[in-house]
Amino acid sequence: MTRSTRFMLLLLISLISLGCRTESGTNVGDRDKLTVCLLPKIKGIPYFTSCHTGAQEAAAELGDIELIYDGPIDGDPKEQAELIEQWIVDGVDVICIAPNAPLVVANAMKEARTAGIHVITWDADGVPESRSFFVNQATPESIGRGMVDVMIADVGPDQEGDVVIISSDATSANQNSWIDAMKPAIEESKLTLQTIKYPGENAANALADAQDLIKVYPNLKGIFGISSVSFPGAAEAVRQASKSGEIKVTGLAVPSEMKSYVDDGTVNSVVLWNTKDLGYLTVQVAKALAEGRLTDSDTSLNAGRLGEIQIEGDNVLLGDVMVFNKDNIDSF
């Protein structure tokens, strides 16, 4: 056993000595360029891919920006925090994050700011003291209300009937914040919220849940599909049950993903904003912030092709939630 003890000790000692190289890390990327990190909630879904396209456009236009686009492929907020911490060590210039769960990433964001990195949020806001600006395309309140308003308009303002929500997981922070806004709005209307389903990010379950809900609630007038998986799932279920038009489906999605359902009348309206503009504006804000062109007291910002953009407090406003329908969906 002595032989093995010595061996183990040797292993440990050499390992420790190996790690010891005291010096601060050098930076990743080109020093002449501004390193901007764009951190989506989930990497690999069309919504954020389209934001990325807009961000690339801005980076190319501004010229001296190195754009890093990376994020968790499963939408794990823990991994968002880990990426921020990685970037702190790498010494990047600006971090733009779409927080999946504001509290989970708040500490990492604060540490990034302490390390002299500019931190802004986009797509969803974080804890206020953890970032300098929020590129605000919509608040949870306006998204939730917006979806309910669209549904009421689709169903008919005086129509009574049942609606259901198909969410993501029971723990999905964004979806839950929208649901909180949707509930009172539905209550005020003549519609009745029957139930909320949680199929997770699983397309087969989302489709199955929607099919069952259609059968169980004969008076069903509308389905809210509030994740990138459950919206098309609900629309597909309505189409397969040949109830297009009878049961309205709405939710958040990249318009192009829902085009075939809008064309055949299953979906009247898709609630969203211009995702490319969102990515574009985020990079514009990042650049302006790093160059000191944007300060706390500013009320507007010149954002390239978007022109003059309004700033309210620390919110950079992209504009309101947009509603896409048959008439304008082809242009996006």
Partner 1 sequence: MTPNSKTETPAFARITTRREFGLAVLIALITIFVSFFDPRFLDAINLRDIIVRCAPTAIVACGMMLVIVTAEIDISVGSLMALTAAAMGIMLSENEWNLSLWIGLPATLMLGTAVGLLTGLLVTVGKVPSIIVTLGLLTALRGFTTLIMGGKNIDGLPPSLQHAAKQGFWGIPLSVWVAACVLVMTLVIIAWTPLGRRIFAFGSSRYAATMCGLSEKPLKLFVFAYTGFLTALATIVDVPRLPTIESGIGLEFELLVVTCVVVGGVSINGGRGTLLGVLLAVVLMTMIRPVLTYLEIGEEAEKWTKAIQGTLIAIAVIGDSLFRRRGRGESRS
Partner 2 sequence: MNQPRAVARFNYWHELVLFGLLIGLLALAEYLSPGFLSLRGQLYLSRHLWVFAIMALSMTLIIIAGGIDLSVGSAMGLCAVAFGVTFEMTGQLHVAIIACLLTGVLGGLFNGALIARFNLHPLIVTLATYAAFRGMAEGISQGESYSQFGDRFSELSRATLLGIPLPGYLFFVLAVLVGLFLWRTPTGRSIYAIGHSAEAARFSGISVNRIRIRLYTFSGFLAGLATVIYVSRFDTAKADAGRGFELDVITAVVVGGTSIFGGRGTIVGTVLGLLLIHETRQFVGRYWQVDELKSIVVGVLLIVSVLIYQLLVTQRETRSH
Binding site residues, partner 2, CB under 8 A: 3-4, 7-8, 11-12, 14-15, 18-28, 43-44, 68, 70-74, 76-79, 81-83, 85-86, 88-90, 101, 103-104, 106-107, 169-173, 176, 198
Q: Please write down the HEC assignment for all residues of the chain.
A: CHHHHHHHHHHHHHHHHHHCCCCCCCCCCCCCCEEEEEECCCCCCHHHHHHHHHHHHHHHHHCCEEEEECCCCCCCHHHHHHHHHHHHHHCCCEEEECCCCHHHHHHHHHHHHHCCCEEEEECCCCCHHHCCEEEECCCHHHHHHHHHHHHHHHHCCCCCEEEEEECCCCCCHHHHHHHHHHHHHHHHCCEEEEEEECCCCCHHHHHHHHHHHHHHCCCEEEEEECCCCHHHHHHHHHHHCCCECCEEEEEECCHHHHHHHHHCCCCCCEEECCHHHHHHHHHHHHHHHHCCCCCCCCCEEECHHHCEEEEECCEEECCCCEEECCCCHHHC
Which of partner 2, partner 1, none does 257 bind, CB closer than 5 to 8 A by kind? partner 1
Which CB sits closer to partner 2, 46 or 313?
46
The CA-CA-CA angle for residues 126, 130, 132, to 5°, reads 95
Site string for partner 1, 229-268 (x = CB under 8 A): x--xx-xx---x----------------x--x--------
Nearest distance from C-beta of residue 129 to partner 2, angstroms: 12
Among 205, 244, 315, 325, binds partner 1 (CB under 8 A): 205
Which CB sits closer to partner 2, 122 or 198?
198
Question: Does 198 engage in binding with partner 1 (CB under 8 A)?
Answer: yes
Question: Does 216 engage in binding with partner 1 (CB under 8 A)?
Answer: yes
Question: Does 192 engage in binding with partner 1 (CB under 8 A)?
Answer: no
The CA-CA-CA angle for residues 267, 181, 224, to 5°, reads 20
Are residues 131 and 193 in contact, defined by beta-carbon separation less than 8 angstroms? Answer: no
Question: Does 203 engage in binding with partner 1 (CB under 8 A)?
Answer: yes
| Stretch binding partner 1 (CB under 8 A), from 129-137, 195-203, 268-276, 301-309 | 195-203
Nearest distance from C-beta of residue 111 to partner 2, angstroms: 8
Instruction: Please list every residue from 61 through 120 that binds partner 1, using CB under 8 A.
Output: 73
Nearest distance from C-beta of residue 257 to partner 2, angstroms: 21
Which CB sits closer to partner 2, 72 or 140?
72
Size of the site for partner 1 (CB under 8 A): 38
Which of partner 2, partner 1, none does 173 bind, CB closer than 5 to 8 A by kind? partner 2
Among 28, 33, 43, 68, binds partner 1 (CB under 8 A): 43
Could you list the residues that contact partner 1 (CB under 8 A)?
Answer: 43-46, 48-49, 52, 73, 170, 193-198, 200-205, 207-209, 211-213, 215-216, 228-229, 232-233, 235-236, 240, 257, 260
